[in-house]
Amino acid sequence: EAGVAQSPRYKIIEKRQSVAFWCNPISGHATLYWYQQILGQGPKLLIQFQNNGVVDDSQLPKDRFSAERLKGVDSTLKIQPAKLEDSAVYLCASSSQGTSGNEQFFGPGTRLTVL
């Protein structure tokens, strides 16, 4: 079974620029999550999708961050404009209702550096 795919793996931009991250979840997983992990901290949920609908985006800074999952499969997370404090690893995860314990499967993440 293929895992969660993310691209790019690394991205360096200057502040005020825009950036987009892509995630392809495990086939058949209805739930998709985007987490932000700042260096030295645990991951923090930004947004959760169930199919193509948003379940929880309470921690998403909506003035600069946006995410979509138009066909209920792949998802894109965008930051516009980026700030220095957005430097972090952005993790995508997916889960299936049928998985024991609602186990979440994580991708390798995209490491963003904002200069």
Partner 1 sequence: DAKTTQPTSMDCAEGRAANLPCNHSTISGNEYVYWYRQIHSQGPQYIIHGLKNNETNEMASLIITEDRKSSTLILPHATLRDTAVYYCIVRREDQGGKLIFGQGTELSVKP
Interacting residues with partner 1 (CB under 8 A): 4, 31, 33, 41-45, 48, 50, 55-56, 91, 93, 95, 97, 101-109
Q: Would you say 31 and 95 are in contact if contact means Cβ atoms under 8 Å apart?
A: yes
CB of 17 to partner 1, least distance (A): 24
Minimum CB separation from partner 1 for residue 101, in Å? 5
Residue where the block lists tokens 């199919």? 51
Least gap, CB of 61 to partner 1 (angstroms): 16
For the bound state, the minimum distance from the C-beta of residue 97 to partner 1, rounded and expressed in Å, comes to 6
Nearer to partner 1, 41 or 63 (CB): 41
Instruction: Measure the CA–CA gap between 45 and 36, rounded to whole angstroms.
Output: 6
Complex with partner 1: residue 82 or 95, whichever CB lies closer: 95
- The strand order across the sheet containing 65-68 reads 5-7, 19-24, 75-79, 65-68
